[in-house]
Structure 1
Amino acid sequence: MSAETPTTAAPAVVRTRPELHDALTAWTLSGPEPTDRRAVVMTMGALHDGHLQLVRQAREAAGPTGQVVVTIFVNPLQFGAGEDLDRYPRDLDGDLAKLASVGADLVFAPTPDVVYPDGDPIVRVAAGHVGEVLEGESRPGHLDGVLTVVLKLMHLVRPDVAVFGEKDAQQLLAVRRMVRDLDVDVEVLGVPIVRDPDGLAMSSRNAYLSDDERAAALTLSRALRAGADAAGEGPEAVRAAASGILEAGAGVEVDYLALVDPTTVDPVLADFRGSALLLVAARVGATRLIDNQAVDLAGGPATSASPQENPSD
């Protein structure tokens, strides 16, 4: 089975640890080629085209007869008090139908008691500084919860490569640092943001938006583009251009707008030159959205919206 000709059969679905172990072992015993790998895409379900692009990239990374595992789990550890855990969209049957066309071999769809058999874990992964700013400041403990479940799923699935979207740029940086700092033998692959034709970054939470709210949400991507277009004038011009669009946008309550070093999420200084990342989080109605855009402060708008890995990696 190749990346160019993905399966059209529904992926197998497992829900328990023993079922997952047996499915993973069966693939290993089937005698994959030495170049084939196991790739995992970790999701919370309610899949959209952005997720499916991650699976396509996982299919390519896995190799012709490699194994692509998709996890579907709404992780309670990464939701804070008053957030949308209970109403987060769930549609397992719809997700499985979508996954049949993009090369997924196996879906692990556990319940919380399978992932956390002893209840809330006493020992968790701490995101450190990366988890205390921006998303971490707005959602305390969020990235700790993300990293804890990511590490647990890596242990359970035992992948060679894990594929993540670059829309959650701070999350991707945190995962990369965890893998590096804790010597987890998994390659982390980032995939560029997938946008709707109108420019809105795809998100499962977009389903919450009314027509008017969706129109207002486009302010985020317009602000990021305006900031990137001002890159030749330096960091302060980038921030000012993006802020101007956000301030003029009706129906958008900005949480933060930040221009940061993509390897540390520290704010860049006025004389900074090089690759930076422009991040925004805002509420549109009751829905919180995030987006980002890479900015080339060496002299122009960037062509990629991805955080770069630490040069020492």
Structure 2
Amino acid sequence: MRIYPFFIPHAGCPHRCSFCRQSQVSGRLSPPDPSTIATQLEEMLTGQGGGEVAFYGGSFTSLPVEVQDAYLNGAAPSLAAGRIDGIRVSARPDALGEKEVSFLQERGVTTVEVGVQSFSPEVLRRAERGHDSEAVSQAVFVLRRAGLKIGLQLMPGLPGGDRAEALRSLDAALALKPDFLRVYPTVVLRGTTLAEEYLAGRYQPLSLATAVELCAEMAWRCRARKVPVIRWGLHNQPELTADGAMLSGPWHPAFGQLVRAHLWLRALIALAAKGDREVSVPVAEFSDAQGHRRDNLCSLRERYPDFALRADPDLAPHTLRCAAGQVSLWSLSAYSQRSWSFD
């Protein structure tokens, strides 16, 4: 779906979470003037229109109602004319009660992204979120009853969490049957409470390799539950990558590709270990199968010098062809396939 984003960093947030510095994440220092939304949106819209206007970066329903109304009024003409299909907002789970959600529904909002981060009480406490996991379940209940699409955002690697906690939080999120997820492994941004913990030696973020492996397993579980993940990792913003802005953490400009490549590596190792040294994959996924900068192919050939990877235009997505015939990427990349590891 095409998205026309407007960023309202920190707008409406009642306090600052330990990890948060929205100006760096969004690339915007301040919210846009509501009176400019209609004009900016008209400039952004393509000829055919469609998609959703999105208000990201703050907690939309925590804004004063008149401010919410002003932003939504900016999108209303395009919505009424059929130039867009709906409106998307992001919000805290404890700011999505019956009154707030009814207002969104009446004003044309179609999708709400809920900042969850974790379902662990300890992780939520240390992140200074100001709500418990029950607030998430209640928010999802209210949103679903209103007929709105629901997205949940998770942040593996926060203080107090580990791999097991991240997977438990994922399972809890999937149990709520959201329409989609976003997964942002935690990075340390200068000027945050988390940065103070990191610099004092009280917090160590996930390594890039650990985060990629963890997110690959999360991707596999999401696929099994038929819940799409529409974003892996933070966007590549100049403010995010400026000198000294990010102190540490598993950020990579192609993080999503690293996750997909790791799933392919799990599948290809499973085949190679069983004697299949010539494997074909779909043309569109050949780059992911080779790995970022051909890392997968190099790793496989170090272990199996005769291994060959080919692109086949006739293969369906997420399918491999080997000596035994065609097989699904997802069945081969299952974590239970212990042969996927070189260890």
TM class, shorter-length: 0.3 to 0.5
Higher helix fraction: Structure 1 or Structure 2? 2
Larger relative contact order, structure 1 or 2 (CA cutoff 8 Å, min sep 6): 1
TM normalised by structure 1 equals: 0.33
Choose 1 or 2 for highest CA Rg: 2
TM normalised by structure 2 equals: 0.31
